[in-house]
C-alpha cells in the first residue's frame, strides 16, 4: 500500500549483536494508536518485559515521531520516546523538539527501537537506507555539546540525540539533548543510553514525505499560517519567548529579591543575554534561545536552550548571585547532560538540611557554602560520582537513606523533584498531573488549559474545552468540584488535558502555549486526514489518545505502581515560607484551601473520569474492554 504522512517503516536495532531490521507498520495499529507517543507505547508493550532493570540490556528505548512531522505543518517537529526510567522505575514518555524527528521521517522511518548493549562505546548513524553502528571510543568522555558539534561537522545537516559524561557515568537523572538544545528524557534517558554504551543517535534523510491530498493540505495550511501571522501577540512571543509566559522576576519579587528580579527583566534579557531566537523545523514562533554572556568573567559564553526560563529559574536559588552565574552553571549542567531542575532542587535541599542540622560538612566531605563555587562543585561530583556525589547521582530515593529525616523533608513525587509548586502557582492541571502521572513530577502533559495560571474565567475555560475536543457530555462534570467555590474540578479536567497532550504528541505537534493556542481537535483532525488520507473522525482520534494513555498506565501497573504511589507531597499541606510571604495550598482560582480530604476527592474524581478503579487507581476491566486493550492484562 502507499503510505502518506507515515513512512510505514520501523527500524529495530539490537546493540548486542548489531542486528538491524526494518519492520513494516500495520495500518490497523496506526489507526488505534495514531503514531508518535501512542505507537511508542504500543511497540513498547509488545517488547518490554515487566520488572526489567532500567539499566540492563533488556530495557528498550523506543523513539518515534508523528504523521504530521516532515511536512510544513506549523509546529510539527516533535520526537517522543519511551523507556523504563531509572530515577522512578516507571515506564514513561519523553518529548523534545528540534530537527531529529524531521530527519527521521525524511530518512524513511516512523520509529526506532533500540535494545541490548554495545560491547564498546558506539553511536548510531542513520542516513536513509544506510544504517551503521560506529565506534565512539574517541568521543566517549566528551560533553554533550562537543559531541553534537562533531556530528554536525562530520555529517553536516542532521539531527542529533547525544549524552554527556553524566549519562556515561549512569547518573540516574541524566538526560539527553536534541541538537544540544531541546531537553529529552527527564528521569534518566541519558543513563539508559550510557548503560547501552550508546553515545549518540545521528539521523539525516533525503526521501521526503508524501501527502495524500496536497490541495486540501495547502488550503488548511494557508488559513492556519495566516491566523498565526495576524496573532496580535506574535511579535512579543518571538521577541521574548517563554519569558513572556513566565516572568521569573515575578517569582523573585515575591521572595523579596528585587535586585535579582531586575536581572531577569525583559530589558536585561534583550540587552545583555539574548543573542537570537531559534525554532524547530516548520515553527513560525521560534520559541528557543541562543544566549550570550557579553561581559564579565564568562564573557563570550554561548548557550543553546529550549527556553531562557531554564537558567533563570536556577537563579531563584540562593547559591547564585548574578544572571551570568546562572547561565554558566546551566551551560555546565547541559554539557554534562544533567537535569537543571533537579540540580537546583538538590542545592536548595542540601542548604536546608545543613541549616536544620540534618547534614554536616563532615558528612558531605567538603565545606558547604551558598555560592557559585559550591554549586559548581556539586555539579562536578554528581557527574563524575566523586565522594558523596556517588550517592547523589543515584537520585532522591537513595539520598533519603542518608538520614531518616530526609524523606519527610523532600519535595518529590515518585522519585522526581516537584517542578510545579501549587503553593506558589495554585492547583492547576500541571500541578495535579505530577501526582497521577506514572513518571511523577515532570513538565509536560497536564498543560492545557490551566497552564501556569493562564486559564482565565469559566467562559474562557469553556472555549478551551471546545478547542481540546472535550465531549459535551463531560463538560458539566468539570464544573462540579468538591467545593463549589473552586469553580473547576482539576481532577476531572486533568484526564482531558492528558488526552489532549497525547493527541498532540502522537501527531508530533508542539504542546507549548505559543503553538498549542492555534490548534483544535477539529482542525488537526482535518490536517491529519489531508496528510494521511485515512479519514478518521475526531472521536476516533480522541479514543486513540485515551487508549494510548491507558496502555501506559497498564504497563506501570505491571511494574507494581498503584494508587498509593499517586500521593500528594505532605509538605504541600504546610505553609511555604517565601521571602516575607507564607504561601498556602489553594485551588486554581485561589478560593479554597486544599486539605487532604479535598485532595483525595480530586484524586478519586480523576480516577472516576478515567473509568479506573478508585481502590487501586488502575484501569478497570470494563475500560480495558471498551478500549480493546484486554490482551495486555496478563
* Planar angle of CA 582, 588, 589, nearest 5 degrees: 85
Of 334, 353, 368, the last residue of a domain is: 334
Does 284 fall in a domain?
yes
C-alpha cell at 584: 498556602
Identify the domain boundary among 334, 361, 380.
334
Range of the domain at 261: 256-334
What does the buried/exposed string (b/e) look like for 335-357 if buried means 16 or more CB atoms within 10 Å of the residue's CB?
bbbbbbbbbbbbbbbbbebbeee
CB 242 within 8 A of CB 307: yes
Give the residue with greater pLDDT, 452 vs 588.
588
d(CA 168, CA 46): 28
Domain match, 345 and 321 both: no
Kindly state whether residues 178 and 263 are assigned to the same domain: no
Q: Is residue 225 a part of any domain in this protein? A: no
**Burial class of residue 182 in the structure, from the number of CB atoms within 10 Å of its CB (0-12 exposed, 13-18 middle, 19+ buried):** buried
Is residue 323 within a helix (H) or strand (E), and if so which, with residue range?
helix 323-336
- Looking at 296, 315, 334, the residue that finishes a domain is 334
Do 523 and 507 belong together in one domain?
yes
- The answer as to whether 443 is a domain residue is yes
Write the CATH number for 174. Answer: 3.60.9.10
Residue 227 lies in a domain: no
CATH number, domain of 440, equals 1.10.599.10
Q: Domain containing 359 — which CATH number?
A: 1.10.569.10
- In the predicted structure, residue 602 carries a pLDDT above the cut 60: yes
> Do 578 and 603 share a domain, yes or no?
yes
Is 213 within a domain? Answer: no
* Whether 592 and 554 share a structural domain: yes
Whether 299 is in a domain gets the answer: yes
Same domain, 310 and 172: no
How do beta strands 159-162 and 130-135 pair?
unpaired
Based on the fold, state whether residues 426 and 393 are members of the same structural domain.
no
Residue 211 lies in a domain: no
CB–CB of 137/169 below 8 Å?
no
Q: Are 45 and 191 in a shared domain? A: yes
Residues 381 and 440 in one domain: no
Place 1 in a pLDDT band, splitting at 50, 70 and 90.
confident
What number of other Cβ atoms are within 10 A of residue 138's Cβ?
9
Do residues 453 and 370 share a domain? Answer: no
Q: Is the pLDDT of residue 579 over 90?
A: no
Mean pLDDT of 1-30: 97
What pLDDT score was predicted for residue 125? 98
Whether residue 282 lies inside any domain: the answer is yes
Paired residues of 593 in beta bridges: 586
Residue 451 predicted with pLDDT over 60? no
CA of 443: how far to CAs of 95, 187, 323, 331, 372, in Å? 10, 11, 23, 20, 26
What are 462-498's pLDDT values in tens digits? 888 999 999 999 999 999 999 999 999 999 999 999 9
Beta bridge partners of 84: 91
| Distance, CA of 145 to CA of 158 (rounded, Å) | 14
Banded pLDDT at 168 (limits 50, 70, 90): very high
pLDDT of residue 25: 97
The predicted-structure confidence for 527-576, as pLDDT tens digits, reads as follows 999 999 999 999 999 999 999 999 999 999 999 999 999 999 999 999 99
Task: Please tell me whether residues 324 and 268 are part of one structural domain.
Answer: yes
Looking at the predicted structure, is the pLDDT value of residue 447 above 80? no
Least confident of 174-188, 234-248, 447-461: 447-461
Q: By the 8 A CB rule, do 459 and 381 touch?
A: no
Based on the structure, what is the number of domains in the chain? 4
Q: What is the average pLDDT value for the chain, to the nearest integer?
A: 94
Report the C-alpha gap between 434 and 432 in whole angstroms.
Answer: 5
- pLDDT tens figures, 118-136: 999 999 999 999 999 999 9
Same domain assignment for residues 329 and 341 = no
Amino acid at each position: 500500500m502507499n503510505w502518506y504522512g507515515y513512512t510505514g517503516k520501523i527500524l529495530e536495532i539490537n546493540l548486542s549483536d548489531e542486528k538491524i531490521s526494518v519492520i513494516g507498520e500495520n495500518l490497523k495499529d496506526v489507526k488505534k494508536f495514531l503514531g508518535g507517543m501512542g505507537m511508542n507505547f504500543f511497540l513498547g508493550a509488545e517488547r518490554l518485559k515487566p520488572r526489567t532493570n532500567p539499566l540492563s540490556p533488556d530495557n528498550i528505548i523506543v523513539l518515534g515521531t508523528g504523521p504530521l512531522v516532515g511536512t510544513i505543518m506549523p509546529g510539527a517537529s516533535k520526537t517522543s520516546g519511551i523507556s523504563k526510567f531509572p530515577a522512578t522505575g516507571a515506564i514513561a514518555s519523553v518529548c523534545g523538539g528540534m530537527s531529529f524527528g524531521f530527519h527521521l521521517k525524511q530518512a524513511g522511518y516512523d520509529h526506532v527501537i533500540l535494545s541490548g548493549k554495545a560491547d564498546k562505546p558506539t553511536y548510531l548513524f542513520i542516513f536513509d537506507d544506510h544504517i551503521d553502528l560506529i565506534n565512539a571510543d574517541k568521543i566517549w568522555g566528551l560533553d554533550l555539546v562537543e559531541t553534537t558539534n562533531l556530528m554536525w561537522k562530520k555529517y553536516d545537516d542532521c539531527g542529533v540525540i547525544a549524552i554527556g559524561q553524566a549519562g556515561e557515568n549512569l547518573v540516574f537523572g541524566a538526560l539527553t539533548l536534541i541538537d544540544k538544545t531541546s531537553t529529552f528524557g527527564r528521569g534518566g534517558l541519558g543513563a539508559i543510553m550510557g548503560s547501552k554504551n550508546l553515545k549518540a543517535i545521528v539521523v539525516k534523510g533525503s526521501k521526503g514525505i508524501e501527502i495524500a491530498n496536497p490541495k486540501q493540505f495547502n488550503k488548511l495550511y494557508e488559513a492556519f499560517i495566516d491566523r498565526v501571522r495576524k496573532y496580535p501577540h506574535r511579535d512579543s512571543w518571538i521577541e521574548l519567548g517563554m519569558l513572556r509566559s513566565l516572568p521569573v522576576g515575578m517569582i523573585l519579587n515575591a521572595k523579596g529579591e528585587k535586585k535579582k528580579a531586575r536581572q531577569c527583566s525583559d530589558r536585561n534579557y534583550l540587552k545583555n543575554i539574548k543573542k537570537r531566537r531559534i525554532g524547530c523545523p516548520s515553527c513560525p514562533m521560534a520559541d528557543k534561545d541562543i544566549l550570550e554572556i557579553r561581559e564579565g568573567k564568562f564573557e563570550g559564553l554561548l548557550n543553546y536552550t529550549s527556553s531562557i526560563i531554564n537558567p533563570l529559574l536556577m537563579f531563584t536559588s540562593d547559591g547564585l548571585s548574578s544572571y551570568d552565574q546562572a547561565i554558566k552553571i546551566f551551560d555546565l549542567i547541559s554539557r554534562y547532560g544533567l537535569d537543571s531542575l533537579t540540580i537546583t532542587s538538590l542545592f536548595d535541599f542540601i542548604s536546608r538540611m545543613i541549616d536544620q542540622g540534618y547534614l554536616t560538612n563532615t558528612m558531605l566531605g567538603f565545606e558547604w557554602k551558598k555560592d557559585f563555587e559550591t554549586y559548581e562543585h556539586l555539579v562536578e561530583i554528581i557527574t563524575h560520582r566523586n565522594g558523596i556525589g556517588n550517592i547523589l547521582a543515584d537520585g532522591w530515593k537513595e539520598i533519603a537513606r542518608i538520614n531518616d529525616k530526609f524523606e519527610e523533608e523532600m519535595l518529590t513525587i515518585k522519585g522526581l523533584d516537584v517542578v510545579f509548586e501549587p503553593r506558589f502557582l495554585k492547583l492547576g492541571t500541571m500541578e495535579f498531573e505530577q501526582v497521577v502521572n506514572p513518571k511523577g513530577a515532570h513538565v509536560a502533559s497536564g498543560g492545557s488549559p490551566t497552564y501556569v495560571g493562564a486559564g482565565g474565567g469559566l467562559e474562557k475555560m469553556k472555549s478551551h474545552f471546545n478547542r481540546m475536543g472535550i465531549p459535551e457530555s463531560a463538560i458539566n462534570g468539570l464544573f462540579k468540584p468538591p467545593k463549589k467555590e473552586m469553580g473547576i474540578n482539576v481532577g476531572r479536567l486533568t484526564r482531558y488535558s492528558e488526552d489532549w497532550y497525547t493527541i498532540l504528541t502522537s501527531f508530533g505537534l508542539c504542546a507549548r502555549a505559543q503553538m498549542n493556542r492555534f490548534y483544535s481537535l477539529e482542525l488537526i483532525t482535518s490536517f491529519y486526514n489531508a496528510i494521511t488520507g485515512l479519514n478518521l473522525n475526531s472521536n476516533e482520534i480522541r479514543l486513540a489518545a485515551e487508549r494510548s494513555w491507558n496502555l501506559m498506565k497498564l504497563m506501570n501497573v505491571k511494574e507494581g505502581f498503584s494508587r498509593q504511589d499517586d500521593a500528594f507531597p505532605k509538605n504541600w499541606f504546610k505553609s511555604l515560607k517565601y521571602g516575607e510571604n507564607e504561601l498556602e495550598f489553594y485551588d486554581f482560582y485561589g478560593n479554597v484551601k486544599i486539605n487532604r480530604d479535598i485532595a483525595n476527592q480530586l484524586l478519586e474524581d480523576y480516577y472516576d473520569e478515567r473509568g479506573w478503579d478508585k481502590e487501586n487507581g488502575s484501569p478497570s476491566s470494563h475500560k480495558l474492554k471498551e478500549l480493546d486493550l484486554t490482551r495486555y492484562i496478563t
